[in-house]
Amino acid sequence: LPPSFLQEFSSYGSLGQNQFSQYYHLPPNYTSSTPPSADEHGSGTGAGAVGYSAVKSEEAASAGPPTGAHPLRLTRCGSPAAAHPLRLTRCGSPAGRGRSLIVHLCCFQRVFLWDLDETIIIFHSLLTGTYAQKFGKDPATMLNLGLQMEELIFELADTHLFFNDLEECDQVHIEDVASDDNGQDLSNYNFMADGFNGSGGAGGAAGAAAGVQGGVEWMRKLAFRYRRLKEIYSSYKGNVGGLLNPIKRELLLRLQSEIENVTDSWLTTALKSLLLIQSRGKCMNVLVTTTQLVPALAKVLLYGLGDVFPIENIYSATKIGKESCFERIVSRFGKKVTYVVIGDGRDEEFAAKQHNMPFWRISTHGDLVSLHQALELDFL
Protein backbone atom coordinates (compact mmCIF):
# COMPACT_ATOMS: atom_id res chain seq x y z
CA LEU A 1 0.00 0.00 0.00
CA PRO A 2 1.22 3.57 -0.64
CA PRO A 3 3.16 5.09 2.31
CA SER A 4 0.72 7.98 2.51
CA PHE A 5 -2.14 5.51 2.86
CA LEU A 6 -0.38 3.69 5.70
CA GLN A 7 0.51 6.95 7.43
CA GLU A 8 -3.07 8.10 7.22
CA PHE A 9 -4.29 4.82 8.68
CA SER A 10 -1.73 4.87 11.52
CA SER A 11 -3.24 8.09 12.82
CA TYR A 12 -6.11 6.06 14.31
CA GLY A 13 -5.16 5.44 17.93
CA SER A 14 -7.09 2.37 19.01
CA LEU A 15 -6.87 0.57 15.66
CA GLY A 16 -3.40 1.35 14.39
CA GLN A 17 -1.71 -0.26 11.46
CA ASN A 18 0.24 -2.66 13.70
CA GLN A 19 -2.97 -4.14 15.07
CA PHE A 20 -3.91 -5.40 11.62
CA SER A 21 -0.48 -6.66 10.60
CA GLN A 22 -1.19 -10.10 12.09
CA TYR A 23 -4.14 -10.55 9.74
CA TYR A 24 -3.10 -8.66 6.63
CA HIS A 25 -0.02 -9.83 4.71
CA LEU A 26 1.38 -7.72 1.89
CA PRO A 27 3.86 -9.26 -0.56
CA PRO A 28 7.23 -7.42 -0.64
CA ASN A 29 6.81 -6.25 -4.22
CA TYR A 30 3.08 -5.53 -4.00
CA THR A 31 1.89 -2.21 -5.42
CA SER A 32 -1.65 -1.13 -4.66
CA SER A 33 -3.79 1.07 -6.82
CA THR A 34 -4.98 4.36 -5.32
CA PRO A 35 -7.63 3.53 -2.72
CA PRO A 36 -11.16 4.83 -3.14
CA SER A 37 -11.83 8.06 -1.29
CA ALA A 38 -13.82 7.99 1.92
CA ASP A 39 -16.92 9.45 0.34
CA GLU A 40 -17.10 6.53 -2.11
CA HIS A 41 -17.34 3.98 0.70
CA GLY A 42 -20.39 2.84 2.55
CA SER A 43 -20.48 2.64 6.31
CA GLY A 44 -21.21 -0.26 8.58
CA THR A 45 -21.71 -0.98 12.21
CA GLY A 46 -19.00 -2.42 14.38
CA ALA A 47 -19.32 -5.91 15.82
CA GLY A 48 -18.03 -7.45 18.98
CA ALA A 49 -18.17 -11.17 19.65
CA VAL A 50 -16.45 -14.07 21.23
CA GLY A 51 -13.52 -15.18 19.08
CA TYR A 52 -12.87 -18.72 17.92
CA SER A 53 -11.12 -20.34 15.00
CA ALA A 54 -12.22 -22.84 12.40
CA VAL A 55 -9.85 -25.26 10.75
CA LYS A 56 -10.30 -27.21 7.56
CA SER A 57 -8.10 -29.77 5.91
CA GLU A 58 -6.04 -27.37 3.80
CA GLU A 59 -4.54 -25.87 6.97
CA ALA A 60 -2.60 -29.04 7.57
CA ALA A 61 -0.66 -28.43 4.38
CA SER A 62 2.72 -26.80 4.34
CA ALA A 63 3.31 -23.19 3.42
CA GLY A 64 4.13 -24.33 -0.11
CA PRO A 65 1.62 -25.05 -2.87
CA PRO A 66 -1.15 -27.58 -2.16
CA THR A 67 -0.18 -31.10 -3.12
CA GLY A 68 -1.80 -32.68 -6.13
CA ALA A 69 -2.79 -31.24 -9.47
CA HIS A 70 -6.43 -30.87 -8.52
CA PRO A 71 -7.95 -29.26 -5.39
CA LEU A 72 -10.36 -30.97 -3.06
CA ARG A 73 -14.01 -31.49 -3.91
CA LEU A 74 -17.25 -32.08 -2.07
CA THR A 75 -18.66 -35.57 -2.47
CA ARG A 76 -21.32 -37.75 -0.95
CA CYS A 77 -20.72 -40.48 1.56
CA GLY A 78 -23.13 -42.63 3.51
CA SER A 79 -20.92 -43.16 6.56
CA PRO A 80 -21.20 -40.62 9.42
CA ALA A 81 -17.55 -41.26 10.26
CA ALA A 82 -16.59 -39.84 6.87
CA ALA A 83 -19.66 -37.74 6.31
CA HIS A 84 -17.94 -35.10 4.25
CA PRO A 85 -14.82 -36.61 2.68
CA LEU A 86 -12.78 -34.75 0.13
CA ARG A 87 -11.41 -36.51 -2.91
CA LEU A 88 -9.48 -35.65 -6.01
CA THR A 89 -11.31 -35.55 -9.31
CA ARG A 90 -10.87 -34.71 -12.93
CA CYS A 91 -13.50 -33.23 -15.21
CA GLY A 92 -14.43 -35.26 -18.25
CA SER A 93 -15.21 -32.35 -20.53
CA PRO A 94 -12.50 -31.15 -22.93
CA ALA A 95 -10.12 -28.71 -21.26
CA GLY A 96 -10.83 -25.11 -22.08
CA ARG A 97 -13.76 -26.03 -24.33
CA GLY A 98 -16.37 -23.32 -24.70
CA ARG A 99 -14.78 -20.78 -22.38
CA SER A 100 -16.58 -17.52 -22.92
CA LEU A 101 -14.73 -14.25 -23.36
CA ILE A 102 -15.39 -11.78 -20.56
CA VAL A 103 -14.58 -8.15 -21.19
CA HIS A 104 -12.45 -6.37 -18.58
CA LEU A 105 -14.54 -4.55 -16.01
CA CYS A 106 -12.23 -1.58 -15.67
CA CYS A 107 -14.59 0.52 -13.59
CA PHE A 108 -13.69 -1.40 -10.42
CA GLN A 109 -10.90 -0.31 -8.10
CA ARG A 110 -10.93 -3.21 -5.64
CA VAL A 111 -11.93 -6.85 -5.96
CA PHE A 112 -12.15 -8.99 -2.81
CA LEU A 113 -11.57 -12.70 -3.40
CA TRP A 114 -13.32 -14.71 -0.70
CA ASP A 115 -12.98 -18.34 0.35
CA LEU A 116 -16.28 -19.92 1.47
CA ASP A 117 -16.02 -22.68 4.10
CA GLU A 118 -14.62 -21.59 7.46
CA THR A 119 -14.20 -18.07 6.08
CA ILE A 120 -17.75 -16.87 5.40
CA ILE A 121 -19.68 -19.89 6.63
CA ILE A 122 -19.05 -22.68 9.11
CA PHE A 123 -19.86 -25.99 7.45
CA HIS A 124 -16.92 -28.29 6.78
CA SER A 125 -15.59 -28.16 10.35
CA LEU A 126 -19.01 -29.24 11.66
CA LEU A 127 -18.77 -32.41 9.59
CA THR A 128 -15.17 -33.26 10.37
CA GLY A 129 -15.55 -32.69 14.12
CA THR A 130 -12.84 -30.03 14.11
CA TYR A 131 -15.17 -27.38 15.43
CA ALA A 132 -16.42 -29.53 18.31
CA GLN A 133 -12.96 -30.70 19.27
CA LYS A 134 -11.32 -27.29 19.22
CA PHE A 135 -14.03 -25.37 21.03
CA GLY A 136 -15.35 -27.94 23.47
CA LYS A 137 -18.73 -28.44 21.84
CA ASP A 138 -20.75 -31.63 21.80
CA PRO A 139 -19.46 -33.62 18.79
CA ALA A 140 -22.77 -35.36 18.12
CA THR A 141 -24.70 -32.07 18.07
CA MET A 142 -22.22 -30.40 15.72
CA LEU A 143 -22.08 -33.39 13.37
CA ASN A 144 -25.87 -33.62 13.30
CA LEU A 145 -26.18 -29.97 12.25
CA GLY A 146 -23.57 -30.45 9.55
CA LEU A 147 -25.17 -33.63 8.20
CA GLN A 148 -28.61 -32.04 8.02
CA MET A 149 -27.24 -29.05 6.14
CA GLU A 150 -25.26 -31.35 3.84
CA GLU A 151 -28.43 -33.30 3.07
CA LEU A 152 -30.21 -30.07 2.14
CA ILE A 153 -27.29 -29.00 -0.05
CA PHE A 154 -27.34 -32.23 -2.06
CA GLU A 155 -31.13 -32.36 -2.24
CA LEU A 156 -31.23 -28.85 -3.69
CA ALA A 157 -28.33 -29.61 -6.03
CA ASP A 158 -29.87 -32.87 -7.29
CA THR A 159 -33.49 -31.74 -7.51
CA HIS A 160 -33.15 -28.27 -9.01
CA LEU A 161 -29.54 -27.68 -10.07
CA PHE A 162 -28.84 -30.74 -12.27
CA PHE A 163 -26.08 -32.13 -10.06
CA ASN A 164 -26.85 -35.72 -11.10
CA ASP A 165 -26.10 -34.69 -14.69
CA LEU A 166 -23.24 -32.28 -13.97
CA GLU A 167 -21.27 -33.97 -11.17
CA GLU A 168 -18.82 -35.59 -13.59
CA CYS A 169 -18.57 -32.61 -15.96
CA ASP A 170 -18.01 -29.81 -13.48
CA GLN A 171 -17.01 -26.33 -14.66
CA VAL A 172 -14.99 -23.55 -13.08
CA HIS A 173 -17.49 -20.83 -13.98
CA ILE A 174 -21.13 -20.73 -15.05
CA GLU A 175 -20.23 -19.32 -18.50
CA ASP A 176 -17.53 -21.85 -19.38
CA VAL A 177 -19.69 -23.75 -21.88
CA ALA A 178 -21.88 -20.82 -22.96
CA SER A 179 -20.33 -20.76 -26.44
CA ASP A 180 -21.81 -24.23 -27.09
CA ASP A 181 -25.33 -22.94 -26.41
CA ASN A 182 -27.30 -22.24 -29.60
CA GLY A 183 -29.82 -20.05 -27.79
CA GLN A 184 -32.74 -22.47 -28.16
CA ASP A 185 -35.87 -21.55 -26.20
CA LEU A 186 -35.91 -23.83 -23.14
CA SER A 187 -39.39 -22.91 -21.88
CA ASN A 188 -40.82 -26.30 -22.85
CA TYR A 189 -37.56 -28.24 -23.03
CA ASN A 190 -37.67 -31.65 -21.35
CA PHE A 191 -34.33 -32.15 -19.63
CA MET A 192 -35.44 -35.57 -18.37
CA ALA A 193 -36.00 -36.91 -21.87
CA ASP A 194 -33.13 -35.50 -23.93
CA GLY A 195 -30.87 -38.49 -23.29
CA PHE A 196 -28.03 -36.52 -21.74
CA ASN A 197 -25.62 -38.50 -19.58
CA GLY A 198 -23.01 -36.50 -17.74
CA SER A 199 -20.75 -39.51 -17.26
CA GLY A 200 -20.82 -40.31 -20.98
CA GLY A 201 -21.85 -43.87 -20.20
CA ALA A 202 -25.12 -44.07 -22.15
CA GLY A 203 -25.29 -46.68 -24.86
CA GLY A 204 -27.59 -47.80 -27.65
CA ALA A 205 -30.25 -45.51 -29.08
CA ALA A 206 -30.31 -43.27 -26.01
CA GLY A 207 -26.58 -42.74 -26.21
CA ALA A 208 -26.74 -41.97 -29.91
CA ALA A 209 -29.51 -39.42 -29.35
CA ALA A 210 -27.55 -37.70 -26.60
CA GLY A 211 -24.38 -37.54 -28.64
CA VAL A 212 -20.84 -38.59 -27.81
CA GLN A 213 -19.38 -37.01 -24.70
CA GLY A 214 -17.52 -33.91 -25.82
CA GLY A 215 -19.30 -33.92 -29.17
CA VAL A 216 -21.40 -31.07 -30.53
CA GLU A 217 -24.77 -32.46 -29.40
CA TRP A 218 -23.49 -33.45 -25.97
CA MET A 219 -21.87 -30.06 -25.39
CA ARG A 220 -25.05 -28.29 -26.50
CA LYS A 221 -27.15 -30.21 -23.97
CA LEU A 222 -24.53 -29.56 -21.30
CA ALA A 223 -24.69 -25.84 -22.10
CA PHE A 224 -28.51 -25.94 -21.83
CA ARG A 225 -28.21 -27.22 -18.28
CA TYR A 226 -25.77 -24.53 -17.23
CA ARG A 227 -27.98 -21.87 -18.80
CA ARG A 228 -31.01 -23.17 -16.93
CA LEU A 229 -28.93 -23.42 -13.75
CA LYS A 230 -28.02 -19.74 -14.11
CA GLU A 231 -31.68 -18.82 -14.56
CA ILE A 232 -32.73 -20.76 -11.45
CA TYR A 233 -29.98 -19.24 -9.31
CA SER A 234 -30.80 -15.72 -10.46
CA SER A 235 -34.53 -16.24 -9.87
CA TYR A 236 -34.20 -17.69 -6.37
CA LYS A 237 -31.03 -16.05 -5.06
CA GLY A 238 -33.07 -14.04 -2.56
CA ASN A 239 -35.74 -16.67 -1.89
CA VAL A 240 -34.28 -20.17 -1.82
CA GLY A 241 -37.32 -21.24 0.20
CA GLY A 242 -39.29 -21.09 -3.02
CA LEU A 243 -37.36 -24.17 -4.19
CA LEU A 244 -38.11 -26.17 -1.04
CA ASN A 245 -41.26 -27.84 0.21
CA PRO A 246 -42.75 -26.48 3.46
CA ILE A 247 -41.08 -29.11 5.66
CA LYS A 248 -37.62 -28.51 4.16
CA ARG A 249 -38.16 -24.77 4.31
CA GLU A 250 -38.88 -24.97 8.03
CA LEU A 251 -35.85 -27.24 8.49
CA LEU A 252 -33.60 -24.74 6.71
CA LEU A 253 -34.75 -21.88 8.92
CA ARG A 254 -34.08 -23.97 12.03
CA LEU A 255 -30.63 -25.04 10.82
CA GLN A 256 -29.66 -21.48 9.91
CA SER A 257 -30.65 -20.31 13.39
CA GLU A 258 -28.95 -23.16 15.26
CA ILE A 259 -25.71 -22.96 13.29
CA GLU A 260 -25.53 -19.21 13.86
CA ASN A 261 -26.12 -19.80 17.55
CA VAL A 262 -23.37 -22.40 18.01
CA THR A 263 -20.91 -20.38 15.92
CA ASP A 264 -21.50 -17.09 17.76
CA SER A 265 -23.04 -15.45 14.67
CA TRP A 266 -20.05 -16.18 12.43
CA LEU A 267 -22.00 -15.73 9.19
CA THR A 268 -23.69 -12.57 10.43
CA THR A 269 -20.30 -11.09 11.29
CA ALA A 270 -18.85 -12.03 7.89
CA LEU A 271 -21.89 -10.49 6.21
CA LYS A 272 -21.07 -7.11 7.77
CA SER A 273 -17.87 -6.97 5.72
CA LEU A 274 -19.46 -8.42 2.59
CA LEU A 275 -22.29 -5.87 2.64
CA LEU A 276 -19.93 -2.99 3.39
CA ILE A 277 -17.84 -3.92 0.35
CA GLN A 278 -20.99 -4.32 -1.71
CA SER A 279 -22.15 -0.84 -0.71
CA ARG A 280 -19.02 0.75 -2.18
CA GLY A 281 -19.45 1.97 -5.70
CA LYS A 282 -16.25 0.53 -7.15
CA CYS A 283 -15.66 -2.66 -5.17
CA MET A 284 -16.65 -6.25 -5.90
CA ASN A 285 -17.02 -9.46 -3.89
CA VAL A 286 -15.93 -12.63 -5.74
CA LEU A 287 -16.17 -16.16 -4.34
CA VAL A 288 -13.50 -18.78 -5.07
CA THR A 289 -14.19 -22.14 -3.44
CA THR A 290 -12.76 -25.65 -3.59
CA THR A 291 -16.30 -27.05 -3.67
CA GLN A 292 -17.62 -28.16 -7.07
CA LEU A 293 -19.61 -25.42 -8.78
CA VAL A 294 -23.12 -26.88 -8.44
CA PRO A 295 -22.90 -27.78 -4.71
CA ALA A 296 -21.19 -24.42 -4.15
CA LEU A 297 -24.18 -22.64 -5.68
CA ALA A 298 -26.49 -24.70 -3.45
CA LYS A 299 -24.42 -23.73 -0.40
CA VAL A 300 -24.53 -20.04 -1.31
CA LEU A 301 -28.31 -20.14 -1.75
CA LEU A 302 -29.00 -22.11 1.44
CA TYR A 303 -26.76 -19.90 3.58
CA GLY A 304 -28.55 -16.80 2.26
CA LEU A 305 -25.63 -15.37 0.27
CA GLY A 306 -27.28 -15.26 -3.15
CA ASP A 307 -27.78 -11.49 -3.09
CA VAL A 308 -24.14 -10.96 -2.12
CA PHE A 309 -22.62 -13.15 -4.85
CA PRO A 310 -24.14 -12.91 -8.34
CA ILE A 311 -23.61 -16.22 -10.10
CA GLU A 312 -21.04 -14.73 -12.47
CA ASN A 313 -18.88 -13.89 -9.42
CA ILE A 314 -18.62 -17.51 -8.22
CA TYR A 315 -15.69 -19.71 -9.24
CA SER A 316 -14.96 -23.35 -8.40
CA ALA A 317 -11.29 -24.25 -7.98
CA THR A 318 -12.00 -28.00 -7.95
CA LYS A 319 -10.58 -28.55 -11.45
CA ILE A 320 -7.80 -26.00 -11.75
CA GLY A 321 -6.85 -24.81 -8.24
CA LYS A 322 -7.11 -21.34 -6.74
CA GLU A 323 -3.98 -19.97 -8.34
CA SER A 324 -5.42 -20.57 -11.81
CA CYS A 325 -8.81 -19.23 -10.70
CA PHE A 326 -7.12 -16.02 -9.54
CA GLU A 327 -5.43 -15.77 -12.93
CA ARG A 328 -8.78 -16.01 -14.66
CA ILE A 329 -10.24 -13.33 -12.40
CA VAL A 330 -7.32 -10.98 -13.10
CA SER A 331 -7.85 -11.50 -16.83
CA ARG A 332 -11.50 -10.57 -16.30
CA PHE A 333 -11.09 -7.42 -14.21
CA GLY A 334 -7.65 -6.32 -15.39
CA LYS A 335 -4.29 -5.70 -13.75
CA LYS A 336 -5.03 -2.13 -12.66
CA VAL A 337 -7.46 -3.37 -10.03
CA THR A 338 -6.36 -3.92 -6.42
CA TYR A 339 -7.10 -7.50 -5.34
CA VAL A 340 -7.47 -8.58 -1.71
CA VAL A 341 -7.69 -12.29 -0.81
CA ILE A 342 -9.64 -13.33 2.30
CA GLY A 343 -9.51 -16.91 3.55
CA ASP A 344 -8.39 -19.46 6.11
CA GLY A 345 -6.52 -22.03 4.03
CA ARG A 346 -2.99 -22.50 2.73
CA ASP A 347 -4.21 -22.84 -0.85
CA GLU A 348 -5.63 -19.31 -1.10
CA GLU A 349 -2.68 -17.90 0.85
CA PHE A 350 -0.21 -19.48 -1.56
CA ALA A 351 -2.25 -18.38 -4.59
CA ALA A 352 -2.34 -14.82 -3.25
CA LYS A 353 1.43 -14.86 -2.80
CA GLN A 354 1.97 -16.12 -6.35
CA HIS A 355 -0.13 -13.27 -7.72
CA ASN A 356 1.33 -10.60 -5.41
CA MET A 357 -2.04 -10.06 -3.77
CA PRO A 358 -2.45 -9.07 -0.10
CA PHE A 359 -3.95 -11.85 2.03
CA TRP A 360 -6.21 -11.41 5.07
CA ARG A 361 -6.29 -14.55 7.21
CA ILE A 362 -9.51 -15.67 8.88
CA SER A 363 -8.81 -18.03 11.77
CA THR A 364 -11.11 -16.73 14.48
CA HIS A 365 -14.29 -14.78 14.93
CA GLY A 366 -12.11 -11.87 16.02
CA ASP A 367 -10.42 -11.88 12.60
CA LEU A 368 -13.80 -11.17 11.01
CA VAL A 369 -14.42 -8.34 13.46
CA SER A 370 -10.99 -6.84 12.71
CA LEU A 371 -11.64 -7.18 8.98
CA HIS A 372 -14.84 -5.18 9.29
CA GLN A 373 -13.07 -2.51 11.36
CA ALA A 374 -10.30 -2.25 8.77
CA LEU A 375 -12.89 -1.84 6.03
CA GLU A 376 -14.72 0.83 7.99
CA LEU A 377 -11.46 2.76 8.38
CA ASP A 378 -10.70 2.42 4.65
CA PHE A 379 -7.57 0.41 5.38
CA LEU A 380 -8.84 -2.10 2.79
194 is annotated as contributing to ligand binding: no
Residues 293 and 170: beta-carbon distance below 8 Å:
yes
378 is annotated as contributing to ligand binding: no
List b or e across 35-50, with b for residues whose CB sees 16 or more CB atoms inside 10 angstroms: bbeeeebeebeebebe
List b or e across 101-119, with b for residues whose CB sees 16 or more CB atoms inside 10 angstroms: eeeeeeebbbbbbbbbbbb
Q: What is the dihedral of CA 187, 205, 160, 198, to 10 degrees?
A: -120
Q: How far apart are CA 43 and CA 338, in angstroms?
A: 20
Q: Which candidate in 115, 170, 176, 180 is catalytic?
A: 115
Q: How far apart are CA 157 and CA 140, in angstroms?
A: 25
Q: How far apart are CA 233 and CA 238, in angstroms?
A: 9
CB atoms within 10 A of CB 150: 21
Per the annotation, the verdict on 117 as an active-site residue is: yes
Q: Which residues, 6 or more positions from 357, have their beta carbon under 8 angstroms from its beta carbon? A: 27, 30, 113, 326, 339, 340, 341, 351
Query: Could you give the angle at which helices 266-279 and 365-376 cross, rounded to 10 degrees?
Result: 20
CB atoms within 10 A of CB 360: 25
For residue 208, give the 3-state DSSP assignment: helix
Q: Cα-flanking dihedrals φ and ψ of residue 352, to 5°?
A: -60, -45
Q: How far apart are CA 353 and CA 163, in angstroms?
A: 33
Q: How far apart are CA 250 and CA 244, in angstroms?
A: 9
For residue 203, give the 3-state DSSP assignment: coil
Q: How far apart are CA 207 and CA 191, in angstroms?
A: 15
* Amino acid letter, 170: D
115 is annotated as contributing to ligand binding: yes
Q: Which residues are annotated as a binding site for Mg(2+)?
A: 115, 117, 344
Q: Which residues are annotated as a binding site?
A: 115, 117, 344
Annotated catalytic residues are 115, 117
